[in-house]
Chain A
């Protein structure tokens, strides 16, 4: 379990992380989501003691990271897959990690196999690795010590679609066995598919957190329905008679109520519907809405 309490990090007058608090539960994949420069990486660096917090603290399983002996055995960390010596072979990078942690050499082969790096690829030097291969190696490095907590910064970056699917399966399985996973991403779709829990961060502040359902329930557009009937006019009148706000939208209508109410009205009046759906824009709209003042591009 990772517990972040009132974490703040300031650089001069700039506040990179602003009073952030959240919890990552064991057995769940927690997605840490936010646009570039929102404070995800800084938060993760503070977690593993590479950056000192200005205020607040992070505990992992009740301990400060600095107080965990041989931390690689408990917490797997991947902050930047490229932050390795370009002249070392992939195997040697794992070998150094295994030796530091006091692990058996066979663990290196196990991990290489787990992340599908062939013996030939493992002999290549890191400067000849693609970003996707570096990510696989980084994930292997994080898993070396058989940790119960994983902290991964943008692990899917550079992976091809098959690689992303592979990683999803790996992390899901890991969480199902009781592990705690925190992974960051600026790509919503990636996190949406893998994370049980989501933390949305923008401008160093947490703007929303929860599972997908509860996040969507709080989003703008919930309780709104798009409906199209064979006779929109009749349906609109029936809905208005019940006191719902109705407006035209494209070929159909936009109704300020739940789809079930619209369906019931249509059934009562024996009106044939050709389309009926909740007008939630999905997580993407929510994400953009919540972080709109932190986006680099102007929001429409």
Chain B
């Protein structure tokens, strides 16, 4: 058992200590997402809900003798990982504040941008894993649909669409992350995200229908609307990408920038 305090000298010899490698920070941040009961169950329930929504979809489709394709099963994830990934993204960051662990995290790694970048990488990684799980589940459901209904099974997912799907989920996660950085408070960030994804599209649609000039700017500021092409099967045109970039800058880059600047300066208590 060693608590030897080396060095009677007054100066601290730091020459033999290497800075904490980024990969280690990423591994620690990943560990933090599942090492509490709440965190573990959030991850498990995200996967379970994704499966559940697809199974319900399958049951309804088979019972009512409807025609569906592989892509339809994937679209159902709007109600599972589409909702829960942003929440995971939010908690990645805000739990450090609500549980006050930021004090320990930032005293073990004072280079705060490294810690935030590690969380960012973990967020993207979890989104990619969620996508893989969703693709596998949709494959199983589509195959079962063929077996149960006797209809022709349609595999209508191109590589491009798969890439869109990944992008969609990563953006969902990052939007949550950005709102979390901005507010540093779990409930507030979750409420903001819900307003942004459920209330705002309605308001934008209403504004566009009632006010002539608003209809022109709406595509440029409505980030939800700009992502429609990523999952509706119609693809993204050049205009769509322009709308996507501009509205994404407003809803993703700006809050993330302000939020990170805030975290870097914040007094940690």
Do A and B belong to a common assembly?
yes
Binding site for B on A (CB under 8 A): 1, 25-27, 45, 48-52, 60-63, 65-66, 68-74, 77, 79-80, 82-88, 92, 96-97, 99-102, 110, 113-114, 125, 141, 143, 146-149, 170, 173-175, 177-180
Q: A1 CA to B5 CA in the complex, in Å?
A: 12
Write the nearest CB–CB distance from A240 to chain B, whole angstroms. Answer: 53
Query: Are the CB atoms of B5 and A92 closer together than 8 Å?
Result: no
Q: A70 CA to B16 CA in the complex, in Å?
A: 11
Write the nearest CB–CB distance from B65 to chain A, whole angstroms. Answer: 47
- Which residue of chain A has the shortest Cβ distance to B111 in the bound complex? A66
Binds A, one of B96-104, B199-207, B233-241: B96-104
| 9 tightest A-B CB contacts, nearest first | A61-B12, A179-B5, A87-B36, A83-B100, A69-B19, A178-B8, A50-B268, A1-B10, A85-B99
Binds A, one of B23-31, B54-62, B183-191: B23-31
- Which residue of chain A has the shortest Cβ distance to B98 in the bound complex? A85
Query: Are the CB atoms of B14 and A26 closer together than 8 Å?
Result: no
Query: Are the CB atoms of A99 and B27 closer together than 8 Å?
Result: yes
B95 at the interface (CB under 8 A from A): yes
Write the nearest CB–CB distance from A125 to chain B, whole angstroms. Answer: 8
Chain B, interface residues (CB within 8 Å), range: 35 or more
List, in ascending order, chain A residues with CB within 8 A of B4's CB.
Answer: 146, 177
Q: List 22 A-B contacts (CB under 8 A).
A: A26-B8, A48-B110, A50-B269, A51-B268, A61-B10, A61-B14, A68-B17, A69-B17, A71-B110, A73-B17, A74-B14, A74-B17, A83-B101, A84-B99, A84-B100, A84-B104, A97-B108, A99-B24, A100-B20, A100-B24, A114-B1, A146-B2
List, in ascending order, chain B residues with CB within 8 A of A175's CB.
Answer: 5
List, in ascending order, chain A residues with CB within 8 A of B6's CB.
Answer: 146, 148, 178
Q: A285 CA to B25 CA in the complex, in Å?
A: 49
Q: Number of A-B pairs whose CB atoms are under 8 Å? A: 146
Interface 0/1 of B104-128, CB less than 8 Å to A: 1011111100000000000000000
B212 at the interface (CB under 8 A from A): no
Q: Give B75-102 interface residues, CB cut-off 8 Å to A.
A: 95, 99-101
Q: A101 CA to B99 CA in the complex, in Å?
A: 21
Q: Which of A60, A69, A83, A173 contacts B104 (CB 8 A)?
A: A83
Query: Are the CB atoms of B28 and A100 closer together than 8 Å?
Result: yes
Query: Are the CB atoms of A50 and B267 closer together than 8 Å?
Result: yes
B158 at the interface (CB under 8 A from A): no
B38 at the interface (CB under 8 A from A): yes
Query: Are the CB atoms of B7 and A148 closer together than 8 Å?
Result: yes
Query: Are the CB atoms of A101 and B32 closer together than 8 Å?
Result: no
B18 at the interface (CB under 8 A from A): yes
Query: Are the CB atoms of B110 and A66 closer together than 8 Å?
Result: yes
Q: A194 CA to B246 CA in the complex, in Å?
A: 62
B64 at the interface (CB under 8 A from A): no
- Which residue of chain A has the shortest Cβ distance to B101 in the bound complex? A85
List, in ascending order, chain A residues with CB within 8 A of B106's CB.
Answer: 49-50
Write the nearest CB–CB distance from B245 to chain A, whole angstroms. Answer: 35
Q: Which of A88, A101, A143 contacts B108 (CB 8 A)?
A: A101
Query: Are the CB atoms of B11 and A148 closer together than 8 Å?
Result: no
Query: Are the CB atoms of B20 and A96 closer together than 8 Å?
Result: no
- Which residue of chain B has the shortest Cβ distance to A83 in the bound complex? B100
List, in ascending order, chain B residues with CB within 8 A of A99's CB.
Answer: 24, 27-28, 31
- Which residue of chain B has the shortest Cβ distance to A86 in the bound complex? B99
B216 at the interface (CB under 8 A from A): no
Query: Are the CB atoms of B267 and A51 closer together than 8 Å?
Result: yes
Query: Are the CB atoms of B31 and A71 closer together than 8 Å?
Result: no
List, in ascending order, chain B residues with CB within 8 A of A178's CB.
Answer: 5-8
Q: A296 CA to B14 CA in the complex, in Å?
A: 43
Query: Are the CB atoms of A65 and B20 closer together than 8 Å?
Result: no
Query: Are the CB atoms of A62 and B103 closer together than 8 Å?
Result: no
Query: Are the CB atoms of A100 and B109 closer together than 8 Å?
Result: yes
List, in ascending order, chain A residues with CB within 8 A of B9's CB.
Answer: 26
8 more CB-based (< 8 A) A-B contacts, given A71-B109, A110-B1, A174-B3: A1-B11, A50-B268, A62-B12, A69-B14, A77-B107, A84-B101, A100-B25, A100-B109
Query: Are the CB atoms of B12 and A68 closer together than 8 Å?
Result: yes
- Which residue of chain A has the shortest Cβ distance to B115 in the bound complex? A100
